[in-house]
Amino acid sequence: LGGADPNANPRLRLAMDKASDANMAKDKVANAIQKGVGGLDGVNYEEIRYEGYGIGGAAVIVDCLTDNRTRTVAEVRHAFSKYGGNLGTDGSVAFLFRHCGLLLYPPGTSEDRVMEAAIEAGAEDVITDEEGGIEVLCAPPDFPAVRRALEAAGLKAEVAEITMKPVTETVFTGEDAARMQKLLDVLEGLDDVQQVYTNAVIDEAAL
């Protein structure tokens, strides 16, 4: 998957930065890196994506890195079934997401500066939300260049990642919010799971 040296593997560097930003346990980061380069007992690992539905039909994408498809799909299917969702087929929810590079800037960041640097570097969209936060979206292959250009302009993103961004979102409140969060937590806790994406927005007041 590109080698274990983050300096020679931009994808790995990004994954490590993201894990650090998310305060992921160091042993899990190291384990994922070793999996990715086949460094655990010489076992070959492969990337697999599963798609499914959560509470109320919320879309969920689960990216895994595994040496045993049978084990992984069984664990993912069990999590969906036990917590109110169901595993779908390939392509069942992917169309509800946009695969893109994403950089987020906090309110107070100069929209003009972000716009100028981002568009010049090849970004596709620059979106300002109601609170003044700014999203920069780009094609995944352009992400490293766009990120470097914005950093060179003195603009440090709060979030910088290649992601599956929901086209539309569904807000969950009350018991449904708690149930949906439980499903996401269980999926994220599985050893083979690297990333979980959803179009569900959880009302934290319900947790």
> What pLDDT tens digit does each residue of the chain (207 aa) get?
455 555 555 555 556 565 555 555 555 565 666 655 555 566 789 999 999 999 999 999 999 999 999 999 999 999 999 999 999 999 999 999 999 999 999 999 999 999 999 999 999 999 999 999 999 999 999 999 999 999 999 999 999 999 999 999 999 999 999 999 999 999 999 999 999 999 999 988 766
H/E stretch holding 29: helix 26-36
User: What's residue 142's pLDDT?
Assistant: 95
User: Quick one: tokens of 183?
Assistant: 């499903």
pLDDT at res. 43: 74
Residue 51 CB coordination number (10 Å):
20
Residue 48: in which H helix or E strand, if any?
strand 46-53
- Which pLDDT value is given to residue 204? 82
pLDDT at 28: 57
Give me the pLDDT at residue 3, please.
55
Nearest to 162 by CA among 119, 121, 102, 105: 102
pLDDT at 123: 97
Taking a C-beta distance cutoff of 8 angstroms, is the pair 109, 155 a contact?
Answer: yes
Give, in order, the Cα–Cα distances in Å from 140 to each of 122, 123, 128, 160.
Answer: 11, 10, 20, 12
What pLDDT is recorded for position 29? 60
Any idea which residue has 């045993």 for tokens? 68
Global pTM?
0.79
- Nearest CA among 116, 60, 120 for reference residue 85: 60
Identify the structural domains of the chain with CATH numbers, from first to last. 1-44 (no CATH), 48-98+164-207 (3.30.70.980), 107-157 (3.30.70.980)
Q: Do 135 and 74 touch, CB atoms closer than 8 A?
A: no
